[in-house]
Amino acid sequence: MPYIIEHFQIFKPQEKLDDLFAAVEEGSLFRVRQALDRKKLIYARNTEGQSILHVAILKNHQDIIRYLVKNYPRILDATDVVSF
């Protein structure tokens, strides 16, 4: 499943984004931390317009949610395609 980064000219390789979203979906905090080697990746979206925080919430991965909110507080401002 392809993923995109909005609002940035620099794109990471697709494989890196796939790994990040797969780690979030599987609930692997270790892999999420490894994949987030650049802060810009927190702005990544999947094809449904969801951020990694949205996916973590939908999957109820509370350790990942806490990690993202603590280390990347701006992610709380992220909206998906149905948010206002």
Spans of the chain, pLDDT less than 70: 1-12, 80-84
* pTM, entire model: 0.78
pLDDT at 48: 87
Rounded Cα gap, residues 42 and 37, in angstroms: 10
* Domain residue ranges of the chain, discontinuous segments joined by +: 3-77
Strand, helix or coil for residue 12: coil
C-alpha closest to that of 75 among 41, 48, 47, 46: 41
pLDDT at 9: 46
Rounded Cα gap, residues 69 and 12, in angstroms: 22
Q: Which CATH number is 3-77 given?
A: 1.25.40.20
